[in-house]
Structures are given as C-alpha cells and as structure tokens.
Amino acid sequence: MTQPDAIVIGGGIAGVSIAAELAERGLAVTLLEAEPTLAFHTTGRSAAQYLVNYGNTVVRVLTRASREFFESGDEPLWSSRPFLRAGRADHEATLRADVAEGQKLSPATEFLDGPSIRELMPVMREDVVAALHEPDAMELDVAAIHQTFVRRLRAVGGEIRSSERIISVDHGAHWTVTTDAGTTVEAPIVVNAAGAWGDQVAQLADIAPCLLRPLRRTVAVVAIPSDIDARRWPLAGFERGDGVMDAYCKPEPGGLLVSPADETPSEPCDARAEEIDVALALEGLRKWTTLEGRHVRTTWAGLRSFVADRNPVVGFAPDGPGFFWAIGQGGYGIQMSPGLARVAAGLVVDGEIPIDLADAGITEADLSPTRPGLAGELTPGH
Ligand SMILES: Cc1cc2nc3c(=O)[nH]c(=O)nc-3n(C[C@H](O)[C@H](O)[C@H](O)COP(=O)(O)OP(=O)(O)OC[C@H]3O[C@@H](n4cnc5c(N)ncnc54)[C@H](O)[C@@H]3O)c2cc1C
C-alpha cells in the first residue's frame, strides 16, 4: 500500500493541474486514472479555445487569471484565434451590451458591423450584421498544456498511475482508495477530479452528491472547398437570440470544426456523436454561412459537466473530512485550469484562496460544494 499526502482521482486537465500544484506545494501526490491513457474523456475532446467573453462572471475571472500561465510556458501553449459572437440585426443591442461588459476583463473586445465581419470571415451570410469581437482570444494546445502539468507533477516526485479505476473509497483514520487493478492507496486527502463521474466517485465515499449534470456536446469536422483558405478565420459562434449560442465553427486541420452547441443530458460515459446532432451542426453552418458542409470527415462528442449555476465546484466536502471536490468545469475546464488549480491548492494547503484571485473577486462561496446554486434549474449559458 502507498501512503501519499493526497490522492487525486482523474487524469483529465483538472486532475493533473491540481496534482501538479499540490505537489509543488510540498505534498506527496498519487494520481489515479481509470483509463489506460490520460485525457481520454472530456479533456481530449474540447474545442481547445480560450475565450474571456464566455461563461458567467466566475468563469471569466478564472479564465482571465489563467492568461499568464498560457503566455509564459517554456513551449508555446497557444496561438492566435480571435472570437466572433455574430448575430443578425435583432441581436445588435444584446451584442453591444455584451461588448461593454466584456471590455471590463478583456479591454480589446469590440463591436463589429457586417462589412468588418465579412472581412474576417467572407463566407458569413449578408444578414449577419453585428458581432462581439475578442481579437486576442486564443487557440489552446491542450495536449501541450496537459503535458506541462504532468511534467511539473513528475518533476517534484508526483506519481501517476493509469488503468486504475477506483472502485471503493473508505474513510477510517484516513481515506483508503482501492482500484480495479487491486491497488490500495491511503491518504488524509482525496481530490475528486473525476469529471462527469464526480457524483459517482462521491457516492463510493458516502459523500452527498453535488447534483452534477453531464451534458453531451458534439463536434463534426467538415471539408470546405479547396479554394477557400480558412486558416485565419476566427472561432465564430452564432446567436440564438437569448444570449446562448446556436452553433459555432472554427478552422481545423481538414476543414472546419462545427458544433451545434448541444447540451444533451447524459449518464457519465464514453460519449459518442449522434447523427441528429451532426445534422444540426451542418444545419447551423448553412444557416449562418454560405458553406454547404456536405462532406463530414470525422465526428466526436464529449461531456461538459455543470451544476445548476454553472460555476465549478471546488472545496472540501462538509460530510467527509479531507474529501475535496474539483468538478463542474463545464465548457471552460481547459481555459481556466491554471487559475482553478491554484484556487484548489490554496484551499487545500492554506485554507484560503490565493490573494490575487481573491482580489479578482473569487470567493469560497462561489465555488462551495454546499452553495444553494448547485440545485435547481440549469441557468441558461453556453
Ligand atoms: C465539444 C467540447 C468542446 C469544449 N471546448 C472547450 C474549450 O474550447 N475551452 C475549454 O476550456 N474547455 C472546453 N471544453 C470543456 C473542457 O474540455 C472540460 O471542462 C475539461 O476537459 C474537464 O476536465 P476534467 O479533468 O474535469 O474531466 P475529464 O477530462 O473527463 O477527466 C476526468 C477523468 O476522471 C477519470 N475517472 C472517472 N472516474 C474515475 C474512477 N472511478 N477512477 C479513476 N479515474 C476516474 C476519467 O477516466 C477521466 O479521465 C469542451 C468540452 C467539449 C466536450
């Protein structure tokens, strides 16, 4: 049996980033991942984008606070990919208001009219006449970011064990975690970074659930005509009319990545793209652009997991000493991972949120596993 200071459950971006922060703060850390490879589930299936003008205020502050990490990597962790949230004439007032709001955290955010939109993306239909533009939005190299955390964890002696699905979590003097490979690890702290499986892992530990909702989101990569050079196009999200995206697309090797921005409730699982959602993605592309998108090269789907208020859940459980929640990263888990991992390590090691993040407005109550915002109707969002 191994006896680290902390066990981290899950080798997605949440698990590796928090494990690296804890290990660098001096804790002996063992990370256990069910799959043979890390980042196999949601982390490996994202749209890989960094957008400050996306998600609720807590998400935006954590995203903004993560910028320095992405900028200062030894190797490039991102590259330019501006963001357009585009709409028709009746969306203009909403978009203008969102530009004013967005400038608070992302000062370069601006409003664009139809001709400026088509300068950036010539295939946009003529009735697309209003957009929020975030020119310094970025495309993330998710594999490099994930690997950076893995390297940092290993550099300070952290242990990573894959093909180790946790099947029991028992509490005595310490937590004792057992996996389907027969491994037993004991530690005073368990970090639940199991993504869509967060509530299932809590159930193993006899901890009350956080009412996590895994929601499937679908991606199709479609071919585009060979005479179109889309490489510099932005990520373009299209308005549905209520502040929520109807669909989005962005350049991808092989063509254009298109998503219907679906949010279909799902059990935690190895999510697969459904035909109907791929059809909706193509319909979205045709509605907003002059592209046909007839040839689908590949599809995938992943689970974005939220609690009702769409804030992440990061903090110690009240009903199990040393059981730490790190779930509910929704559709922003990569872009806010550096900031959120620092919050988690601050709460575990110092009992408080790092001062810069607290000054930026992040509170324990925003992220608490006991807040009222876990329950009820899912708030509208992206
Ligand atoms: C289509 C799509 C587009 C997205 N686009 C973006 C984007 O542009 N930008 C952005 O920042 N985010 C985006 N996201 C969201 C982002 O991918 C997630 O927020 C993030 O990956 C969540 O990471 P995680 O570590 O919590 O979950 P996961 O990556 O799912 O990791 C959880 C891990 O826990 C493991 N696990 C579960 N149960 C057990 C167990 N019992 N024992 C051991 N291990 C276990 C799982 O095997 C899994 O590897 C997108 C997601 C999707 C699906």
Express each pLDDT in 276-285 by its tens digit: 999 999 999 9
- Count how many domains the chain has: 2
Calculate the average pLDDT of the chain: 97
Q: Could you tell me if 230 and 289 lie in one domain?
A: yes
Give the β-pairing of 166-171 and 175-179. Answer: antiparallel
Is residue 62 assigned to a domain? no
Contacts of 261 (CB under 8 A, 6+ apart): 217, 237, 244, 245, 246, 247, 248, 284, 382
Q: How far apart are the first and last CA of the chain?
A: 43
Is residue 380 assigned to a domain? no
Q: Could you tell me if 206 and 218 lie in one domain?
A: no
Out of 306, 338, 358, a domain closes at 306
Out of 249, 273, 306, a domain closes at 306
CATH number of the domain residue 283 falls in: 3.30.9.10
Structure tokens at 119: 């300068």
Q: Which phi and psi angles does 369 have, rounded to 5°?
A: -75, 0
Out of 287, 306, 325, a domain closes at 306
302 in contact with ligand 1, CB cutoff 6 A: yes
10 in contact with ligand 1, CB cutoff 6 A: yes
Q: Could you tell me if 204 and 246 lie in one domain?
A: no
pLDDT of 1 strictly over 80? no
Express each pLDDT in 140-180 by its tens digit: 999 999 999 999 999 999 999 999 999 999 999 999 999 99
The percent of residues above 70 in pLDDT, for the chain, comes to 100
Please choose, from the candidates 252, 190, 214, the residue with its C-alpha nearest in 3D space to the C-alpha of residue 41.
214
The pLDDT score that the predictor gives to residue 244 is: 86
Is residue 97 assigned to a domain? yes
300 in contact with ligand 1, CB cutoff 6 A: no
Query: 244: which DSSP letter?
Result: S
Is residue 60 assigned to a domain? no
Express each pLDDT in 79-118 by its tens digit: 999 999 999 999 999 999 999 999 999 999 999 999 999 9
Q: Could you tell me if 281 and 224 lie in one domain?
A: yes
Q: Could you tell me if 149 and 298 lie in one domain?
A: no
43 in contact with ligand 1, CB cutoff 6 A: yes
Q: Could you tell me if 301 and 313 lie in one domain?
A: no
CATH number of the domain residue 187 falls in: 3.50.50.60
pLDDT of 73 strictly over 90? no
Q: Could you tell me if 146 and 25 lie in one domain?
A: yes
| C-alpha 195 – ligand 1 centre gap (Å) | 5
| C-alpha 123 – ligand 1 centre gap (Å) | 32
Q: How far apart are CA 10 and CA 31, in angstroms?
A: 7
Look at ligand 1, atom 15, and give the residue with the nearest C-alpha: 331
Q: Could you tell me if 369 and 275 lie in one domain?
A: no
Q: Beta-carbon neighbour count of residue 232 at 10 Å?
A: 11
81 in contact with ligand 1, CB cutoff 6 A: no
Q: Could you tell me if 240 and 352 lie in one domain?
A: no
60 in contact with ligand 1, CB cutoff 6 A: no
Is residue 282 assigned to a domain? yes
166 in contact with ligand 1, CB cutoff 6 A: yes
Domain that residue 298 falls in: 82-136+213-306
Query: 39: which DSSP letter?
Result: T
Q: How far apart are CA 359 and CA 176, in angstroms?
A: 37
Look at ligand 1, atom 33, and give the residue with the nearest C-alpha: 10
Q: Could you tell me if 103 and 184 lie in one domain?
A: no
Q: Could you tell me if 220 and 353 lie in one domain?
A: no
The residue to mutate among 85, 138, 304, having the most atoms of ligand 1 within 8 angstroms of its beta carbon, is 304
- Helix, strand or coil for residue 42? helix
Express each pLDDT in 12-42 by its tens digit: 999 999 999 999 999 999 999 999 999 999 9
Is residue 66 assigned to a domain? no
The pLDDT score that the predictor gives to residue 2 is: 81
Q: Could you tell me if 87 and 219 lie in one domain?
A: yes
Is residue 379 assigned to a domain? no
Question: Which atom in ligand 1 lies closest to the alpha carbon of residue 329?
Answer: 19
pLDDT band at 50 (very low <50, low <70, confident <90, very high): very high
The pLDDT score that the predictor gives to residue 191 is: 98
Is residue 313 assigned to a domain? yes
